[in-house]
A and B are shown apart, each in its own frame.
Chain A
Amino acid sequence: MHNIYSLVSGPLAWVSFILFVGGCLYRLTSMAVVAGEKDSMVYAYMSFRYALRSIFHWIIPFLSTNTKKHPFFTVISFAFHISLLAVPLFLIAHIILIKESWNISWWFLPDTIADFLTLVVIACCIYFLVRRIIRPEVKFLTSFSDYLLLALIAAPFITGFWTYHQFAGHKIMGIIHILCGEIMLAAIPFTRLSHMIFFVFTRGYTGSEFGAVRHARDW
């Protein structure tokens, strides 16, 4: 067990970080190169000001018409994304691990709040799953990979919750948790989770076209 722990928390963690950072850099660079070759207009029309204007209107809930039209979904998806980022980054257990490795640390969330936010992520994943199954317009778009992606996101949070509360088998669960987190991180650049890195570019480009060329709003 100790050997496995050393493996997942040592070399595999590095593999995961490298895949994440390297993968993101690779995806962004290849997008930039291909855009230069075949979509050079993107560079001509991308406007910093209008890209930011559009991103601003979509990153704040209830500024865009569509977020106003679906208030429940808006609350769910913002709560989901905020919790999804906040828990792994500001969990004291994670920060201690990082401090032990590199002697750097930062602000952390009180455990009860982190615990609550973990439940928020899990509950949101369940909501997304149910929504995928029962809403015809979402079901039509859904393929197996969409369920897999949802499982990929939920897994580190479910296993993390299990480990923190020391339910039965929490030692093995802890190892599974680390592994799940690593898989999720490494999957970001290579799956539709890449919207994390591409959001600013797709939104920003549409915002630029709408704002600088067409003098219209896109929210």
Chain B
Amino acid sequence: MSGPVTNTVEPVPDEGIIQGASKLTPEKIERVINKVLESEAGARLKTYVDTCVHCGLCSEACHFYLSHDHDPKFSPAGKVKQTIQEILKKKGRVDADFIKRAAEIAATECNICRRCSMYCPFGIDIGYLMLTVRRICHFLGVTPRYIQDTAHSHSATMNQMWVRDDEWIDTLMWQEDDARREIPDLRIPLEKEGADIFYSVIGPEPKFQAQLIYQAAVIMHTAGLNWTMSATPGWDNSDMCMYTGDFEMTARLKKTHFEAASRLKVKKIVMGECGHAFRSVYDVGNRALGWKMPPIPVIHAIEFYYELIKGGKLKIARKYSKPVTFHDPCNMVRGRGLHEIGRYVTKATCEKFIEMEPNREHNYCCGAGGGVVNCGPPYKMKRIESSKVKAEQLLAVKAKGAKTIIAPCHNCHSGLEDLIRHYKLDMDVKFLGDIVYETIEKKK
């Protein structure tokens, strides 16, 4: 394995954290923390922190801990000890340096992948505890600059990437135009009231991965589906605010998304291959709005392809020939249990499938999720080093013959591509949609 791993925790210089912390006073910190604790943190926080017996059994669940040679500072309970436990113990009387470190731990040393909940005998939701720390840091104005910029984009434009309304429509028309060279009567329907499917994507797709929308359109066209996209804000299903601790914005974003779908009177929402966005729509945002389950049925692309292939609406012309492995994204697997149907689609479209170990609910995180990759360049090397165990896992499956990693999640893609480059793994990463698009019999 190339790339040395350091065990020292040097603070990463981040303008957002440094400048935010410079404006703090001890009084403000105490007031803000106690306001959050009084108004929001309730039975779960207290029970979780009081119940933990400090046994350390969660440690090996965490890829940060495993990648940093079992440094206890990176164990899930270790991160709790350095952040929320201390905050509770001191009743909010902590200083600005403490908040800086807590912000860095919560925002960049935990992917909120929830693997540790499966290793803690008590099922303590440490991801929730880290999100509570992020929530406090959000109110204190101490957040990493890059992800905060994304959160600003969300609040100003209702999409993640500062995409202007006209640019969004323009991008769809451009993709439609391009796709018509392949399929002359293909459409990317916009604002089609009464369509069966509302297809939503994350901001980065129109911004720099527009071919994914092209591919989705070809799949929809081939399956003969009645679908639409929204021309107004609400087309973007992503949500970095959920990860900065700005839950009010999460509610606004999801309201806009659900309202766009309900305005178009669709039967269901199909989401592109993004994990965090699915978590936000299916699990977090609906709750923020007071819905136990999403008000409109929501399915992730994995489930969508599964239904189309199983139902015979898509026929496989020629299977993908390179041996593949399947990376289970946390939000699709621990978040929605799509591991078996993901394998169904993979086996239906690929000639040879090789399992990586561990897999399914126990798969290691890509290292990019939970908003960590969105914290940007300052943390890139730390993120890559903190996923050494993921790189080792990939190397092991490569040794068994796998050449392509199927990762049905945008964040996982970014994370895995960085790992492949840094650790010189020489593998490809593909979306399930890439494979489906490539292998189906297309309707001309």
Chain A residues within 8 Å of B, Cβ to Cβ: 31-32, 34-35, 37-39, 41-42, 44-45, 54, 58, 64-66, 69-70, 73, 135-143, 146, 192, 194-195, 198-199, 201-207, 209-210, 213-219
Q: What are 15 A-B pairs with beta-carbon distances under 8 A? A: A32-B43, A136-B72, A137-B65, A138-B56, A140-B73, A146-B54, A192-B54, A195-B51, A195-B122, A199-B122, A202-B51, A203-B121, A203-B122, A214-B336, A216-B339
Please determine whether A216 and B123 come into contact, CB atoms closer than 8 angstroms.
no
Would you call the interface of chain A mostly helix, strand, loop, or mixed? helix
Please determine whether B54 and A138 come into contact, CB atoms closer than 8 angstroms.
yes
Q: Which residue of chain A lies nearest to B337 when distances are taken between CB atoms in the complex?
A: A215
Please determine whether B59 and A137 come into contact, CB atoms closer than 8 angstroms.
yes
A10 to chain B, nearest CB (A): 32
Please determine whether B283 and A140 come into contact, CB atoms closer than 8 angstroms.
no
Residues of B within 8 A of A41 (CB): 287
**With A195-B122, A218-B117 already in contact, 5 other A-B pairs whose C-beta atoms are closer than 8 Å:** A66-B119, A70-B57, A137-B59, A141-B78, A216-B334
- Given known contacts A199-B51, A215-B336, is B44 in contact with A42 (CB within 8 Å)? yes
**Contact of B52 with A by CB under 8 A:** yes
Please determine whether A137 and B70 come into contact, CB atoms closer than 8 angstroms.
yes
**Contact of B396 with A by CB under 8 A:** no
Chain B residues within 8 Å of A, Cβ to Cβ: 39-44, 46-48, 50-57, 59-61, 65, 70, 72-73, 75, 77-78, 81, 117-119, 121-125, 283, 287, 292-293, 333-337, 339, 361-362
Residues of B within 8 A of A64 (CB): 118, 121
A201 to B287, CA, bound (A): 21
Please determine whether B47 and A202 come into contact, CB atoms closer than 8 angstroms.
yes
- Given known contacts A39-B43, A44-B292, A219-B118, is B60 in contact with A69 (CB within 8 Å)? yes
Please determine whether B70 and A206 come into contact, CB atoms closer than 8 angstroms.
no
Residues of B within 8 A of A37 (CB): 42
A53 to B61, CA, bound (A): 21
A133 to B161, CA, bound (A): 49
Residues of B within 8 A of A205 (CB): 44, 123
Other-chain residue from A65, A69, A206 in contact with B117 (beta carbon distance below 8 A): A206
A23 to chain B, nearest CB (A): 13
A65 to chain B, nearest CB (A): 6
- Given known contacts A34-B42, A137-B72, is B123 in contact with A195 (CB within 8 Å)? no
Residues of A within 8 A of B57 (CB): 66, 70, 73
Q: Which residue of chain B lies nearest to A206 when distances are taken between CB atoms in the complex?
A: B123
A198 to B212, CA, bound (A): 47
Q: Which residue of chain B lies nearest to A207 when distances are taken between CB atoms in the complex?
A: B123
Which 3 residue pairs of A and B lie closest in terms of their CB atoms, listed nearest first?
A38-B42, A215-B337, A206-B123
Please determine whether A214 and B335 come into contact, CB atoms closer than 8 angstroms.
yes
Residues of A within 8 A of B70 (CB): 136-137
